[in-house]
Structures are given as C-alpha cells and as structure tokens.
Amino acid sequence: MSAQTQPAAPREDAPLGVLVGVDGSEQSVSAARWAQREAGLRGEPLTLVTAYSIPAYWGYGADAGGTVLDDSRLREGVQVLLDEVAAKLDADGVRPELRVEVGDAAGVLVDLSKAASLLVSGGRGRGGFIGRLLGSVASALPGHAHCPVAIIPAGVEASRAADGAAVVAGVDGSEQGRAAALVAAEEARIRRAPLKLVCALPPVGGNAAWLGVTLDEAAREQELRERLDAGAAWIASEFPGLEVVTELVDGTPVDVMCEQTATARLTVVGTRGLGGFTGALVGSTSRGVTDHAKGPVMVVPFREDARLGTRTKFGPVADQD
C-alpha cells in the first residue's frame, strides 16, 4: 500500500479523523466509500459509526433481565451491520475503526464531531440511522456539527478527478461565505483541482415592479462581478499556485447550487450568509439542496480565520451586520 492509503496517526484535535455514519443502506455504503478515499487524501484516520436506541420498558423490576438481553441482541445486530459495511470498502484503502454507540443518531454524530475533522453522511437511508438524519434532523445537523459536514448522494461516491472537475464554492459576499471559500480552497489544494467561486444572480422579485422601483440590472451585475473577482484575487493570494476562476449564474441560489453539484468535484457552502448561497442553507432550503444534490456537498460551519481580515485589500465587500 502507498503511504497515502496507510492508516494515519490520529491528530490531537481530531483523533476520529473522517467520521461517517452508516446504517447498512446503499446510500451509507456510498458515503463510507467516499469517506475512505477522503481519509486517504487527507492522511487521516477513518471512523465508521452506527447507533441504536434501547426501547423503553414499563413494568416491574423483574423485567430488567429481559431489557439487558434485548440490548445485547441489538448491539450484536448493529455490529454485524457495521462489519458488513466495512467489508464493502477498498481493501487497500484506509482501514476503518468501527464504533457502535447507544443514543439518538443525530445526537451521537454531533457529539462525536467534536473529535472529527469531517463528518460524512449518505443522502438518504432506510429510516434508521441515516434515514432519521436526513429527515427532520438533517437540516439542523450542519448547523450543530463541530466540523464540516459532507452529504454524499447514493451512487456518486466515485472520484471525478479524471474529468478535471473543479471544487466549487458558493459565495454571496458574506463573511460566512468567505470563510467557506477558504475551506473550499484548501479542499481544492488537497485534490490538486481548480477552485471555482460561484455566485447566484437571483431574479428581481415582483415587489420591485409593484412598488414602481427601477433597478439598474447592469449595475447590479457589475457590482457582483467586481466583488466576485476581488474575492478570487484574495483567495489566489492566500493559496499561491491554485487556479481560481469565477462564475456569476442567473437563478435562485438553490437551483444554481444543485446544477453545480452535477459536475463539481466537491461543492462547498457555508451555513449562514446574506440570504444567498450560505443564507439559503438555513431552514428548509438546506434540505432541498442536499436532497437534490447530484454530487458531494460539504457544508462548513463558520470559524474565525485571520485570513478573513485581508479580504478588504482586494476591493470593497458587502455590508453585513
């Protein structure tokens, strides 16, 4: 095996490395395969985890023995499931650590994400571990996890490196979007891929016409292009040698994002913003993006970064409270 595929020594701040939740479904197997390759790229450990909840019992103390027996059987069952998923991974890839946890699926992943560099989840599941995550809990997970969250739709775990695909970052001029762009640039560097900064140009709402407001569309577009180009120059200065391109796309943030996921090596977005890409990922829209993505999507929580302070050297930024 190459050094890239050897299990890596745990980092002090993220001993679990790339963490992936599995439930045995095709979707979670896709997520585990993608996570294994990701761990190899990063030189980090790979941790597969599944969780189960102990059913509540009502009755006398004499029933306690049955509860212990059922718990043992449940744990043995999920351990078999976990072993089956691990057996479907590349034998020459990073060997995973397997963990069985007791508790709510989302709560388990959020808690373990404190010790992970990346949390990976399948696009849909069989109604158990991953199925619950991508139901009502999925929209909250990126906002609560302590590390970036990658959502991998079933069947798209294969690398797009051979196509020369770029890593795409959705930006909207916000500080949160710029922080996500920094993460996307690092992801592009790791993959030796170009970075494409994409900004949506939403259609003007009907209220503008109703109020009799005249909007200079050309000026609006020009302003966005200037900020986008300035952001590209800033990223390029922080990542010498990285190819950075920009694209301003007509359409709503969610529609534009889903279209980008069809060809991107990886699509990266933040969790909050100015109502564009990152802002759109709050609430029900985030579920729409992840549910309809056609490729891997990474949602990045905002983190303070000293490099954000250098952005104004390259041009004006949008006002943000």
User: What would the pLDDT profile of 69-117 be if each residue is shown by its tens digit?
Assistant: 567 888 888 899 899 999 999 999 999 999 999 888 888 989 999 999 9
Tokens 């650590």 identify what position? 97
What pLDDT was estimated at residue 92?
96
**Cβ neighbours for 254, distance < 8 A, ≥ 6 positions apart:** 280, 285, 288, 289
**Cβ neighbours for 68, distance < 8 A, ≥ 6 positions apart:** none
Tokens 């301003």 identify what position? 248
Q: How far apart are CA 174 and CA 47, in angstroms?
A: 33
What pLDDT was estimated at residue 173?
86
Regions of the chain where pLDDT drops below 50: 1-10, 58-59, 65, 125-128, 130, 132-138, 206-207, 209-213, 282-285
Burial 107-139 (b: 16+ CB within 10 A, else e): ebbbebbebbbbbbbbbbbeebbbbbbbeebbb
What pLDDT was estimated at residue 317?
84
Q: How far is the first Cα of the chain from the last one, in angstroms, to the nearest whole number? A: 51
Phi-psi group of 234: left, alpha or beta (phi > 0 → left; psi -120 to 50 → alpha; rest → beta): alpha
| pTM for this prediction | 0.83
